[in-house]
Amino acid sequence: AAEFGTGIEELDRRGVVPARAAVMLVLASTGIGKSWAMIHLAKFALMQRKRVLYASLELGEEELGLRFYQAFFGVTNRAPRDPIYARGLEKDALGRLSAIEREEIVPEFSFDSENLEDELETRRRLMEGKFKNLEIKRFPTRGLTVAGLRGYLDALETAGFIPDMVILDYIGIMRTDAKDHRISLGRTLEDFRGMCVERSVAGVTAQQMGREAARTSKGGQTNVSEDWSLIGTSDICISINATS
């Protein structure tokens, strides 16, 4: 069995999962859910008792912390005014579609709850061991190089924290050579993968898809923004697609 998983049956069954000394690249258009996808992968690694470094060049540490609470505990930003439903497909013995199920989802609490502090603290205590395995660090946009990330990992190791997974959110806003951004971006991903090989960690990062991908439900590798070589450097590439 693979060391890491995603918790998504179809991906796990096909081995589309993070792996040590390899990089998984998540492709998506703006606002579709690159960060949420990486938070999900981090959450699942933590559930498997792995240590995770989440290095962000976009979201702040507090906002990411709240997102992790949402991911772990099913917290909503605010109590929903209308019912929320999840739909599923029901099949008969021959595997044919027989019905569309509908189940109401009722969040246990939300961030606007009067008892939010008590609700979070109670759940945090139950998950305390797993949260100790998570390190969230924000770096300035365009202010981080792979050498800088290596230095930060060295500092963590000195403090006794050696991650099994490094999530970089995201490769497209790392520091690059402004005179030749595309070539520099490709080399940055190569350096990130090299670091993952050297340290035997599972690497996960993301990149934007181009404008054309926002108009289709089937955006893929050919829609990667900036540098096509990112696809060739990555060991596994997945795309998240949604039309408006």
Residue range 62-110, pLDDT digits in tens? 999 889 988 988 888 888 888 888 888 888 988 898 999 988 888 878 8
Partners of residue 85 on adjacent β-strands = 104
Radius of gyration of the chain (CA): 19
Give me the pLDDT at residue 227, please: 60
Tell me what pLDDT residue 115 has: 82
- Cα dist from 207 to 15, 145, 234, whole Å: 21, 16, 11
What is the token pair recorded at 240?
């998240």
Task: Give residues with Cβ within 8 angstroms of 151, minimum separation 6.
Answer: none
In SS3 terms, 31-96 reads as: CCCHHHHHHHHHHHHHHCCCCEEEEECCCCHHHHHHHHHHHHHCCECCCCCCCEEEEEEEECCCCC
pLDDT on residue 160: 95
Asked whether the beta carbons of 52 and 202 are under 8 A apart, the reply is: no
pLDDT value at position 37? Answer: 95
Do 31 and 41 touch, CB atoms closer than 8 A?
no
pTM, 2 dp: 0.82
Among left, alpha and beta (phi > 0; psi -120 to 50; other), residue 2 is: beta
Which stretches of the chain score pLDDT less than 70? 128-129, 210-228, 244
pLDDT, position 210: 63
What does the alpha-carbon distance between residue 7 and residue 71 come to, in Å, rounded to a whole number?
13
